[in-house]
Amino acid sequence: MSRSELALVVLEDGRVFRGRAYGARGRTLGKIFFSTGMTGYQEILTDPANCGQIAVMTFPHIGNTGMGAPAGDQNTWVAGLVVRDPARRAAWRGEEGELEDALSEAGVVGISHVDTRALTRHLRDNGAMRAGIFSGDALPSHSEDLSPAAVAVLVDVVRSQAPVNGAEAAHHARAAQARVIETIGGDGAASAHLVAVDLGGAAGAAQHLAQRGARVSVVAQSVTLDQLLALAPDGVFFSDGPGEASGAGSAVELARGVLDAGVPFLGTGLGHQLLGRALGYGTYKLSDGQAEANGDAAPVTAVDAPLTGLSVAPHDDGRYGRVEASRVSVDGRAVEQLRALDVPAFSVQQHRGAAAEPQYSEHFDQFLSLVEARRAQGGATPSVKQEG
């Protein structure tokens, strides 16, 4: 393999995987995670929750369906992509272009012809870690020989990257300006006015809510509680986004303000973690960096709430009452849904932000039912205990 084609994946523990340059050439750094899904690579690339991270596609053949046209203000958020056997040409009639061309246009440094299953096993055994992809001019001398000196230089570069704070990552991913999304379909009359706090991934969710008859005001996470409540929301949605709730203290306080005001609350992804922290639970990292295309995969960061039965939210001596872990991941490691029984709030960890199928967006219907119940009671806080 010529030097111009060579690319390397370098992990912070010193492990190196050789491959071919794919997409943009150069250097990219980030936390590395893997997906074992056979489909859904476009959703992974455009999910703001993956902002600044390197994605490893464990399934060997990637790119057969090309890249469709971005929806709305959807962008490619990943810092890098690792694949084994890229499609030479997209074969699906609906594709807008080739995956490699899309990566190059977006400036995403990638690598192909990597043993991604061995890389996945290494991450499962050793846990999530920082990594880098290097190609072209970013490779030091004698990289093709994997000389100890060259590898040491690259490992030092990987280890020198600072951890990404959750609040900072959301700041980079979210839309720059507040906006209003009018109701879609029907007679044009909004059934409810919702405020979506954009932690980086509100665009797709806001569209889903608008399609269900709501008028949605999208605001940045820097919004104050007074500014938010001045919009007179019937419900507040905290979106998915990159990073972790442990680095977003101001957003946790904002969530508590919403709970104290008795306004129905829905959180997805990072918003789920924020609700957990607002209720007084902690969050913790799971042992491996895994993100799946299906709805039952465990998240990388989990809410530290009891996995079974009811508990009393620890914050302020149980101010928010009882909480139920209404769904747990299939491996039994993580709470995937929280449901407060004494304040109108619930959250889900798994949410497919781009092109969500019905089974991945039923929580929006539940949220609007909660909003309508509160409106029917003249703004009084309803019970949020639901079947199913």
Tens digit of pLDDT for each residue in 97-118?
Answer: 899 999 999 999 999 999 999 9
Distance from C-alpha of 191 to C-alpha of 197, rounded to nearest angstrom: 19
- Cα–Cα–Cα angle for 194, 224, 366, rounded to 5 degrees: 25
Most confidently predicted of 60-74, 123-137, 360-374: 123-137
Tens digit of pLDDT for each residue in 280-326?
Answer: 988 766 655 555 544 334 445 666 677 667 888 899 999 999 999 87
Distances (CA, A) of 22 to 107, 259, 319: 11, 47, 53
- Concatenate the DSSP letters of all residues of 300-344 into one string: SEEEES-SSSEEE--GGGTTT-EEEEEEE-TTSSSEEEEEESSSS
How is residue 54 annotated by DSSP? Answer: E
List of E strands, 36-165? 53-57, 61-62, 80-82, 85-86, 109-112, 129-135
Tens digit of pLDDT for each residue in 24-36?
Answer: 999 999 999 999 8
Distance from C-alpha of 330 to C-alpha of 150, rounded to nearest angstrom: 42
Distance from C-alpha of 62 to C-alpha of 364, rounded to nearest angstrom: 31
Distance from C-alpha of 339 to C-alpha of 323, rounded to nearest angstrom: 6
Predicted structure pTM score: 0.73
Distance from C-alpha of 165 to C-alpha of 241, rounded to nearest angstrom: 12
Residue 11, beta-bridge partner list: 131
